[in-house]
Amino acid sequence: MATTTTTTSFFLPNSFNTQNTNKKFPKHPYSPPKFTASSITSQSSKSAKDHLLTLISDQDRGLKTQNNPSKLASIVSAIDALAAISTGSVTTGDNLSATWRLLWTTEKEQLFIIEKAGLFGTKAGDVLQVIDVRNLSLNNVITFPPDGVFFVRSNIEVASSQRVNFRFTSAVLRGKNWEIPLPPFGQGWFDTVYLDDELRVVKDIRGDYLVVDRAPYSWKE
Boundaries of every domain in the chain: 44-214
pLDDT in tens, 42-61: 778 899 999 999 999 999 99
> What is the arithmetic mean of pLDDT over 5-11?
35
Report percent pLDDT > 70 for the chain.
81
CB 95 within 8 A of CB 165: no
Angle at 213 between CA 210 and CA 214, to 5 degrees: 135
pLDDT in tens, 151-178: 999 999 999 999 999 999 999 999 999 9
Question: Which whole-number Å values give the CA distances from 1 to 4, 7, 83, in the listed order?
Answer: 9, 19, 96
CA distance 67 to 176: 35
DSSP state of 54: H
**To the nearest whole number, what is the mean pLDDT of the chain?**
86
Q: Is 44-214 a domain of CATH 2.40.128.280?
A: yes
pLDDT in tens, 13-22: 343 344 444 5
Q: What is the model's pTM?
A: 0.80
What is the model's pLDDT at position 27?
A: 52
Phi, psi of 38 (to 5 degrees): -70, -40
